[in-house]
Structure 1
Amino acid sequence: MTLLSNDISIERWTRSSRLALSAMAATIAVLALAPVFLGAGMIDRMTALFIYVILAAMWNALAGFGGLVSVGQQVFFGLGAYFTIRLADAGLNPFVALFVAAIVTGALSIPLSLFMLRLKGGEFAIGMWVVAELVHLLVNLDRLIQGETGTSLISLNVYDSATRRAIIYWLSLVAMTALLGALFTLMRSRAGAAMQAIRDNEDAATSVGVRVIATKRLLFVLAAFGIAVAGGLWLATATTFQPKTYFSVQWTAYMIFMVLVGGIGKFEGAILGAILFFVIETIFGGTGVWYLIGLGATAVLFSLYLPHGLWGEIERRFGLQLLPVGYRLTLPNLLKDKR
């Protein structure tokens, strides 16, 4: 047997990935026109889908790319909504307030990271849940919120329902696109490679000079900001704010479900998982507690039989990468039998 070695190529962009980006750009352009020809109910559902994609992408960034598994990300979802209420009450335009609120939440996540990133594994996961519960209690003490009674984003009432619905839709679409773009760019940078190295082996990453805590903090703050944006957008769609709803662990449970089903650590997986969750909720959401039981059972089945999620299985079987954040080694015709 003679070994014949042709050119070995290392690819980052493939033909399928370029086509995928073009298709995504075209899809976003079409979605931008949706309020013109879709009804009110469909606009609301599409807005919810965009928010789900943000939540899934941010949790996947934290856990799938950074190895920081958290069950307390609802703290940022709730704070995004809470600060939106506070800033709007102070006189800021409600649509501006929701993005300023996300910036405030992201800024607060920096000192929080000084403590939380010292924890590892299960300690970090449970620690974030404890922080979420403490913040929930503190928000309840605000007289504006009136405990669990809550309040409303009444400043939105200056807009008629059609205008308000369209603005929230467009803001959600822009936020989703911008956050996905920022995350994709980050994960393809040196910092992104460092994050994945930390996830795979923190000690090894440290030994080659990776600044572990600083790199983790970057991802922690980005996830906090993105989830806070989602919280503010959800508040804008619902208009009412009740702490027990926005600081509920169910939000993190939804994030985990979407990422597990779609494919943890896969950029495409978070998007696919959010779409699947959206479809399931749309069809079965009205079945009450059985819907939640079904979500839990589905997550368990995927963990047992498809641990890499749907996209992970597609990638394994067909080698398809639409939005690659790493490199791909191609070995064409490496071995040829010339007997």
Structure 2
Amino acid sequence: MSNPITLKQLAKELNLSISTVSKALKDSYEINENTIARVQALAKKYNYRPNRMALSLKNNQTKTIGVIIPNILNYFFSKVLLGIEDEANKNGYQIIICLSNNKYKKELQSLELLSDGSVDGFILSIARETQRDKHHSHFKKIIDDDYPIVMFDRVSDNVACDKVVIDDFEATFNATNYLLNKGRKKIVLISTVSNLGIGKERANGYKEALKKNSKYKNKAIIIPITDKSKYDSIIDKLFEDHKDVDGILTTNNVSAVTALRIAQQKGLHIPKDLSLIGFSDDTISRLSNPKLTTIDQNAFEIGKKAVSTLISRLTSKTKTEYKTKVVKTDLLVRETT
């Protein structure tokens, strides 16, 4: 295999300075169009690639972002990842993706693996196990080692860093109000994230909407599901215990579509007898019959904001206060309400 051509060799063949060739490869406004065309044509001919290691040593940065997510199969996280990749690419950054699989040790290993100079900073959503057991010292150590972190969705109040979130309280508050305005008399919340911070916020938004409605007579009913194998049995029992339920709000779409199927099996007409709202604008919400009304977290925008926030932190010449940026949610009204 032949040795790759260097910037110096390109400059020599073109009879230009190394600085001029470097700027031409970046489409700099300082270089005229003819020179840019000549440089880029030769670079393409020799399949020139910049030496990223040399660049990182020279600039003291790798132009690489470490991304740690709990679950790649989850629609929300994969959509956030698309937003991260899109914004990073636009700004000349690469990403390295690690999966925590919702395990604290995997999350810790990923942070330790990439904090050896491989990345400039991290974007991450905390593993379920990490939140449950209240681990946060590993994040503080990374930040103390001068690696900025931007947390999204699942964040920790105990870690001083930038964050990008949705207003989970407002999302369920508004969705519950929508059901109340539709005249629903008994609204149940099915929660699959009750042991996470986002789950508590979503439950509080639901309860507050009921509390503020003077015409609503029933108590708040929250059905937690922690075991994926028990969706059917728990939701079936919900209908047996609350035969007059006429509104269901969920924290994910699997439980919403499960409730939809079981309700139809019991002869209920959707949305005449029962209104349903899910959480996340994933494929399942658009393919259900009838199509599921759902809360859209705008995951792609979360990913983009996380990257712009991290790059702003990396490029800032002065230390600024940490910020929490809130991405607006939307209620996508379809056929189940």
TM > 0.5? no
More strand by share: 2
Select the structure of larger CA radius of gyration: 2
More helix by share: 1
Q: Identify which of structures 1 and 2 has the higher relative contact order when contacts are C-alpha pairs closer than 8 Å and 6+ apart.
A: 1
TM superposition score normalised by structure 1: 0.21
